[in-house]
Structure 1
């Protein structure tokens, strides 16, 4: 049968299922979705400028350029690392019977390194002392410049990844070498050994947990450094608020994106075990079919279907972090009637 006839026999749904089974296809979809999000965000920003709620000061914006560039590069590095670990090592190394834990830990590790680099840039570049006595309406915290949705997304990503990793690790079993890489599937009322497919066990999950803890720690440090530094001048507070909000948003996007990429990969792996429902054993000319049981098989299959959506979301927010950390356009003018928020030395 010619190849094109084989493809046509699969059908559109089958082809789509095959496409979404490849991690790189999630990047293609995210690359198509992200420009639409950027256009909508740009329109909203333009309307905000027209209403006079956003100002611009080129000197102040230039001051924040280094951290924006750092975060933009960091987001791109997470995407590159994600594509690399899934497609390159298999061509370079013999990975038979190797625990490829780096597939799941690398996106989180890359995000942690990127956010740590941003923290260093923010902490080492002091804004300087304010030139006027000021009064702060509220005390700033690490979450002062982070949007509610961004913090919720960051928290949900961390909880989902840690919860999945601990649950899967607890369900896993060890091989003869003591590696927790198997899931025991039992065939009731059958005189056959336990089926043991590879699984997202502790040997895969522990490196992910370590990287996740590191990522959460450096994210808190970076958000704190971004919030606590003093404003440069009282008359640039509004512009600096906007700059710091963009920085906090990018930090949250990179951290959430790294964790969601790891979560998507873990869900794909877990779903493979959920697909095993029957085992066929050949005994000479006879075949025996046994049903296997795992009480969480339905959840595993659901996770497999959701994994591409999780990856597309992760890659979209990372692409937004790459592209949306631009310096405000020069046609943005400072708002003449904006009341600068001033803060006292005690509130710095």
Structure 2
């Protein structure tokens, strides 16, 4: 019997509400169940290891976020030689595999500039931290050790190819997997109780917004979009240090009674069960897990062309697409959805059918096949 492949997965910090971290957790659990892999997570901070995999802590001193990221990168690099394969989820030159779950940092900065004033743009352009990240990103993609980039969307694949000249054969698109048994249209069993607890009428249309980092993920646009639609409610799940600003926005726009701020949720399934659709008007998101989860739960999604999930959206069938700054367009899309309420069961079925093939087993199999190909080569 062949010895298991020694695989290291590198992710600096665990955030229980973060999409990238949920991907890593799912990937670790799925991969560890397949005996061909001996999986170790290298992290500064994480929860306890799971069945079949272990976590080893790398926690060098840090003095600010630049020192935090650069110090972790240097310490992780010293460990790379201990493993057959290293898959980094951080921008660290020298790993054999990079999973571009956070997309291209330079592309994100370009989108962020769309909502910033001249002074903010100048400050960010001169920021030592962002200059470090962009430099590390470029060095990583051009490093001779890099053999494969795992992209979670064609959006990210194309951006990397165009910006860094990475050859097509070194760019693999593996979509995020979802537990289609846990995220399922039968989550509607939570609907009555959840709505009662949050004082939302049983028959009121409800949008779920799930994501921390409200500026990037478009919380302001989501709040604004419900204004012309009386009776449409919005539940915002996620953490943001400026959450009070968005509460004030809801009050200023006269929709505070129709917006629920839930904070970070340990379990989003009851919210998916209570909602009728997901709204995520994100400026830039490579492929958020929340979109896969929502679709699997039977929720059509409202998102943007610079969200990787747009690749799965068939407008009018399982969701709608509008530019992140096209508030008027988003309002119209919501209006079109509300006018088609008798067709919501078909929309829900189409949403479920979209996500159904993308199981955790499929994702794990695609990853394992990629690792085997790399080792054979």
TM-score range, shorter chain: under 0.3
Relative to total residues, which structure has the larger strand share, 1 or 2? 2
Q: Which has the higher contact order (CA 8 A, sep 6+)?
A: 1
State the structure with more CA Rg: 1
TM-score, length of structure 1 as denominator length: 0.27
Relative to total residues, which structure has the larger helix share, 1 or 2? 1
